[in-house]
Amino acid sequence: MPAGRSSTERKAQEGDELNVLNQLEGQRKEAGDIVYRWFRFRVRRGLGLFYSLLSFLPVFGSILGTLFASENVALVGVTVGIVCIWIVSRTAGFQGFGRMRGTIELLKENEPGGRGRELRRTATFLFVAVWPWVAYAAASALGQRYLEVLFAVVWLAEFIAYRIFSLRHNANPIVSHRVEDWLVVFCIPVAALVSALLVLPYAPPLYGFVLGSPFLLFAGIKSLYDAPKELVADLGTG
């Protein structure tokens, strides 16, 4: 009988420990959901600021090009402006994706993700986003319109391929892909195509991008408006 009682007690103790572990696991994942929503709010807010400020760059570049009568000055001004806007947007929350992902996976998943994977993702995005613009700007500065068209097409194809690849291989991303994000993905390369193909007299050097500015501004305002919704969004539909 004593042996029977000790076995029963051990089973009861193991059951209690299992219940405690299950409760702790549930609390861990609940904390992960809260952190996840907060990160997505911060990133969406940062994207909204980035899109909004970016919409004014073509106008700024066109003014510079007109004042100095140089398309090169306009392109350099826009490039410097992009870097400044990127820095400002990072302070608003558009930063630290690797740390965010590591924190989320530590709280929500069974194993934390590798930092090397996040670095590869960041490097891939920067490569896709930056090199076509640099090549396009160089072709524009040299007056090589056919190269401008080529790099603009490559830019568009790369952006679309990267977005599709990201959606397929990241089922629960920090940044949910919304209409405004796809609008920006298409708008910038298409604006480059318009600037390269429609060579109009007396037009500012970045008039294709100027035409796309209202779409970028709309994307920015919508992102800023939708940012608080990330705090209560269903995380399974991101």
For the cut 90, the answer to whether the pLDDT of residue 234 exceeds it is no
Question: For the residues 80-97, what does the mean pLDDT come to?
Answer: 75
State residue 94's pLDDT score: 59
Domain annotation covers residue 238: no
- Measured CA to CA, the distance from residue 169 to residue 172 in angstroms comes to 9
What confidence category does residue 217 fall into, taking pLDDT thresholds of 50, 70 and 90? Answer: very high
Among 13-27, 114-128, 132-146, 206-220, the least confident range: 13-27
Confidence of residue 1 (pLDDT cuts 50, 70, 90): very low
**Backbone torsions φ then ψ of 95, nearest 5 degrees:** -160, 170
- Residue 161's pLDDT is 82
Contact indicator for 199, 149 with CB cutoff of 8 Å: no
The overall pTM is greater than 0.75: no
With residue 125 as reference, give the H or E element that holds it.
helix 115-142
**Does the residue 65 lie in any domain?**
yes
Phi, psi of 175 (to 5 degrees): -100, 115
Q: Are 206 and 60 in contact (CB under 8 A)?
A: no
Q: Confirm if 50 and 185 have CB atoms less than 8 A apart.
A: no
Instruction: Summarize the confidence of residues 56-79 as an average pLDDT.
Output: 86
Please give the residue range of the domain that contains residue 224.
Answer: 2-232
Asked whether the predicted pLDDT for residue 237 surpasses 50, the reply is: no
Q: Please, are residues 210 and 65 in contact by the beta-carbon 8 Å criterion?
A: no
What is the secondary structure of 158-184 as a DSSP string? HHHHHHHHHHHH-SS-SS---HHHHHH
Q: What total of structural domains would you count in the chain?
A: 1
237 within some domain: no
Q: Kindly tell me if the per-residue pLDDT of 147 is higher than 80.
A: yes
DSSP-derived secondary structure letter, 232: T
**DSSP SS3 for 201:** coil
User: Is residue 228 a contact partner of residue 37, using CB atoms and an 8 Å limit?
Assistant: no
pLDDT category at 182 given cuts 50, 70, 90 is confident
Residue 42 lies in a domain: yes
**Residue 220 maps to a domain:** yes
The reply to whether 154 falls in a domain is: yes
Q: Is residue 197 part of a domain?
A: yes
| pLDDT tens column, 25-52 | 556 566 667 777 787 888 888 888 889 9
The most confident of 18-27, 54-63, 82-91, 168-177, by mean pLDDT: 54-63
Q: How confident is the model at residue 12 (pLDDT cuts 50, 70, 90)?
A: low
Label residue 230 exposed, middle or buried (CB < 10 Å: 0-12, 13-18, 19+). Answer: buried
203 lies in a domain? Answer: yes
